[in-house]
Chains A and B, each alone.
Chain A
Amino acid sequence: MKDRNKPYGLQHAFKEAYHQRDAAHVEPGWERQVMRQVRELGPLNQGRGWIDLIEGCFWKLAPVACILILVLSVALILQFDFISEAEIAKTFLEDSVDYSFLQMLGKS
């Protein structure tokens, strides 16, 4: 027995309608038009240029590049003896003489 609330009993009718779409007609000169466009594009360049070669390697080399960037960043941080802004502020706040001196300079 059919379910009235189930429109997918329609699937058959829709399939029939879908396959009965009008046949495709193209103008007689359609092929010539396509070929004209193809000729305008000219012969295909089969030889792979250096850009294509780089493009092929790009994603393969991406993880290596990321690791290299990370390693270099860490090396750079260690090389410059990185001190955070919070540490500088802490130094000034702990040393009240330097802090008031700097405040004085700031006012002038």
Chain B
Amino acid sequence: MGFSQKNQDENRSAPPDDDMIIHRILGGEVNAYELLLNRYKQNVLHIVKRHVPSGEIEEIAQTVFIRAYQSLPSFRLNTDFRKWISSIAIRSCHDYWRKAYRNREIPISSLTEKHGNWLEEVMAPASSQAFSDSSFQEEARELLEWALDHLSPQDRMVTELVYLEGMKGKEAAELLGWSTANVKVRAFRSRRKLRKILLNKKIVK
């Protein structure tokens, strides 16, 4: 009896696992979703902040959790919830860019002379510029944003996942819900496009 009592106490003190929480939510206990929200909030925000402008992070992250809640009946228990919600987050970011490009809400910024100088300096054979320099990184970020704005939403997502985050084709394909071959082909093409964009850059003086 003492042993079972001890076991029950342990169960009570241990945080419930994802499957248990999902089971409770599907049973009608809506408030249990808060446990999942708190558990995966940072993970979702971490993904979203990398892929959308800072002003949109809150809204997209909210959409991710609402979508996840609505899709919960289709979640297969005993699988990785983190992976599942990460996939929803990536697809939500992709949807954001698709909508933004369609509505032409994102103005494409122009490059200034300092960006041109930066690019030349980085590409110089004997470049001694420190990558940790904050002004250097600021210009790199602006140039990167400028180049990514010239890519289609699909190419943008693939470039970010494969080249900037260093994911493998299969990993990126799982998150995007595309085939691995599609991701690999698109990654190759978007890399070529990016090269063309950077070589043909137009500098505003």
Contact = CB atoms under 8 A, between A and B. Distances in A.
B195 A38 contact: no
**Chain A, interface residues (CB within 8 Å), range:** 35 or more
Nearest to A26: B58
B49 to A, nearest CB: 4
Contacts, number: 118
Given A18-B160, A26-B58, A31 B41 contact: yes
A22 B54 contact: yes
A14 B140 contact: yes
A103 interface: no
A23 B48 CA distance: 11
Interface stretch (B4-12, B67-75, B77-85, B169-177): B67-75
DSSP class of B's interface residues: helix, strand, loop or mixed?
A: helix
B199 A30 contact: no
A60 interface: no
A39 interface: yes
Interface in A1-37: 1-2, 4-24, 26-27, 30-31, 33-35, 37
A108 interface: no
Main secondary structure of the interface of A (DSSP, over half): helix
Interface stretch (A40-48, A66-74, A84-92, A94-102): A40-48
Given A17-B140, A31-B41, A41-B66, A9 B30 contact: no
Contact of A24 (B27, B46, B69, B132): B46
Nearest to B71: A44
A104 B131 CA distance: 95
A46 B26 contact: yes
B123 A10 contact: yes
B191 interface: yes
B83 to A, nearest CB: 20
Interface in A57-84: none
A34 B73 contact: no
Interface in B171-200: 191, 194-195, 198-199
12 contacts: A7-B119, A10-B119, A12-B131, A21-B141, A22-B49, A24-B57, A30-B58, A30-B61, A35-B37, A37-B62, A38-B30, A44-B73
Given A7-B199, A35-B31, A35-B37, 8 more contacts: A7-B123, A21-B49, A30-B61, A35-B34, A38-B65, A39-B31, A44-B25, A44-B28
